[in-house]
Every structure is written in structure tokens, then in C-alpha cells.
Amino acid sequence: MKEKVLVTRSSMPQLEEYIEEISDIWETHWLTNMGSKHKKLQEELREYLGIENIELLTNGHMALELSMQAMNLKGEVITTPFTFASTTHAIVRNGLTPVFCDINPIDFTIDTSKIEALITDKTCAIIPVHVYGNICNVEEIERIAKKYGLKVIYDAAHTFGVRYKNNCIGSYGDASCFSFHATKVFNTIEGGAVCYKDLDFGKALYRLKNFGIKDQETVDGVGANAKMNEFCAAMGLCNLKHIDEEINKRKQVVERYRSHLLGVEGIQLNPIQKDVTPNYSYFPIIINEKVFGSTRNEVFERLASEGIVARKYFYPLTNTFDCFHGQFDSSLTPIALHISKRVLTLPLYADLNLECVDNICKIILSMKNNKILD
Ligand SMILES: *Cc1c(COP(=O)(O)O)cnc(C)c1O
């Protein structure tokens, strides 16, 4: 049987490289609690990304959850439902009310022309998502946030290494939350980080990731435990050495996909955004079944029958989750609803071979005008 092709495959350094990186842990016996690997990774990320302040955490979800807590947000936040469960859950777990704004149909990020109509006297923040590595309209979001005195926390889980006008994408907003999960462009096995501007926020975040402990005799916040351990930080140090090469390999894969699928009627591709240095994190396609002739689900099933695992990412919308039954109305975010029913994220990782991409595209293209030909 042919080997299955999964939607992603985690980047890993050579085993010897990782062993070398962790070997001194056997001398120090320092496994976690902001040890030398943690400090070194923080320093190297600051340099690689070209940003001032970064805090490391156990994962991207805790980055979001604790950032909201550190800002002491109360009331409503404006966000989008076209995202991973984490964004909405972090909001709700902070006792905040998500107010869902629709997305734009071009890059799938928040439609900034619809934000202002959703602002009430309870609104405290905007929590937009940089989707698939596409960046939000950061300038317009900044203008709105300033005008109404709102905080901005970006879910930047998809955008490690992305730059806008040559600035790290993490330098926009009050905070930007990255995920270093195994499936992301840069991984620390599990991990995450927050880039931020305000140093008091940084201190609050640091305490919250360590139980709210200020010093040995003072606990001034109801914190969590979200410290990145030394083994994860070591994985990050190794992976960071190869990140440019990894992103470049992803670029080759993306270009191969585009060479087959660009201009195919009924298939919409991710846009190439102006002034953005991309990270090639995902390859979503939007299948307009009326034009293409097959539905997203039919393409998904057909690929699966050939051992190719694509993902309906993001489907369903977070505002339709069972856990929120009856609380939100997804018809108020019609574009997000439309896209989520038609999106398919194709396999993409650094070592995906190009013949495999050719094969995936061949299968997809064989389904064009399926109904008419049959
Ligand atoms: C991966 C992801 C997260 C959560 O990150 P973890 O590190 O897995 O906790 C949050 N938001 C989005 C959009 C993600 O893709």
C-alpha cells in the first residue's frame, strides 16, 4: 500500500543535533522554570524576529488566554469565527463575550469595514486572527483601536516569520500570540510566545505563567502554569537554526501547487499580499462547486480514498460549536460561513515531495466538471 500523505509533518532537527543541545541538562539537572535553554531561545527569537519583547509559554493557547488576563479585559471583544477553537475558547474562558465580525472573502481575515458597527460601550478589545499566514489589515485595526480606546491582541499562530513592510508581524497591536505547536512552521514540540510593547504587561504575563508569584512571599495574581520547559526550548533552538531553509522548502511546494491550480475556474487560492514576506504556512483552496463541478466534500473524500489527508480547516466555524449551542448566530457572519463550507487545506510541509504535489493536483483537476462529464 502507498504511504499516506498527511496534511502536515512536523519539522525536526537531526537527532544528533538535539542530543547535543540537551546534553548539558544532564549536568545541571535544570529541567524547567526559566532555565538556560529558555533564556537562550528567548534571546535568539528576539534577534531572529527583530522585536523588543517576547515571553515564552507552554503553547499558543495559553499565550492568548494569559494575554487577555494580563490586560484585565472585561466585557465584549470583537473577533472572528473563522479560526481554530483556541481563539474563541481563550476569550470565553476569560469570562469575556465574543462578538463575531465577518471576514473578508479575499484573505479570510477580519473585515475591518464591519468592525465599527459592532463596537458598544462594553467593547474592550479586538482579537483578530492572521489566517493561513495572511495578515490582517493592521493599519486599519490600529486606527479603529485608537479611535475607540480598544486593546488589540492578534492571534498570530499562523504567522511565525511573517513580515509586513519589513517589520515582524508581532510588532503590531498591544500583543501578538504565536504558536510553536508541532504542526506549525516553527515548533518547540508544544510551545508559544507573546510579543508585546508595554513592559508592565510583560511583567503581568510573566507572573501569570508562573502561578501569579511575584516573589517568594508575594502572590499577586490568580495565575496558571504556562512555563516552557527546557526540552521544548532546546527543540526550538535546533529548529530555529533551520527555519529559513524550512520556509524556503515550503515556498517550493506552494509554487508547485500554484503552477497547477492558479487560474482554474472554481478554485480560489490564497492571495499574495502586498508588502508581506510570507511564511508559506498553509495551502488552502476554496472550491466553488457551482463553477468547479465538484464540492469540497467530494474532493476531500476522493483525496482520502487515494491516501491523501487534506483538512477542512476551518470548518466548522467556532460560532457554531456545540459548546456554544444557541448563543451565537452564524448567519451574521455569512462570508465566514460560506468560506468554511468550501475550504480545503492541502498537504504542505517542508519535505513534501513535488511529485506528490503534482499527483494531488492531478486528482483535484480530474474532478473538475465532474457532474457534467459523468
Ligand atoms: C495552533 C493555533 C492556536 C493554538 O496554539 P497551540 O500552540 O496549539 O495552543 C491558536 N490559534 C490558531 C489560529 C492556531 O492555528
pLDDT at 373: 45
How is residue 8 written as a grid cell?
Answer: 502536515
84 within ligand 1 shell (Cβ under 6 A): yes
Contact 164, 172 (CB under 8 A): yes
60 within ligand 1 shell (Cβ under 6 A): yes
Angle between helices 15-22 and 230-241 (to 10 degrees): 130
Q: How far is CA 247 from CA 188, 241, 253, 281, 359, in A?
A: 16, 12, 10, 8, 22
158 within ligand 1 shell (Cβ under 6 A): yes
Kindly give the confidence (pLDDT) of every residue in the chain, 374 residues in length, as a single tens digit, with 9 standing for 90 and above. 568 999 999 999 999 999 999 999 999 999 999 999 999 999 999 999 999 999 999 999 999 999 999 999 999 999 999 999 999 999 999 999 999 999 999 999 999 999 999 999 999 999 999 999 999 999 999 999 999 999 999 999 999 999 999 999 999 999 999 999 999 999 999 999 999 999 999 999 999 999 999 999 999 899 999 999 999 999 999 999 999 999 999 999 999 999 999 999 999 999 999 999 999 999 999 999 999 999 999 999 999 999 999 999 999 999 999 999 999 999 999 999 999 999 999 999 999 999 999 999 999 999 998 665 44
181 within ligand 1 shell (Cβ under 6 A): yes
**Which ligand 1 atom sits nearest the alpha carbon of residue 62?**
9
pLDDT at 374: 43
Q: What pTM was estimated for this model as a whole?
A: 0.97
Angle 175-135-309 from CA coordinates, rounded to 5°: 110
| Domains observed in the chain | 15-241 (3.40.640.10), 243-370 (3.90.1150.10)
How is residue 195 written as a grid cell?
Answer: 510579543
pLDDT at 371: 61
Local structure of residue 226 (DSSP, 8 states): -
Environment class of residue 100 by beta-carbon count within 10 Å: exposed (0-12), middle (13-18) or buried (19+)?
Answer: buried
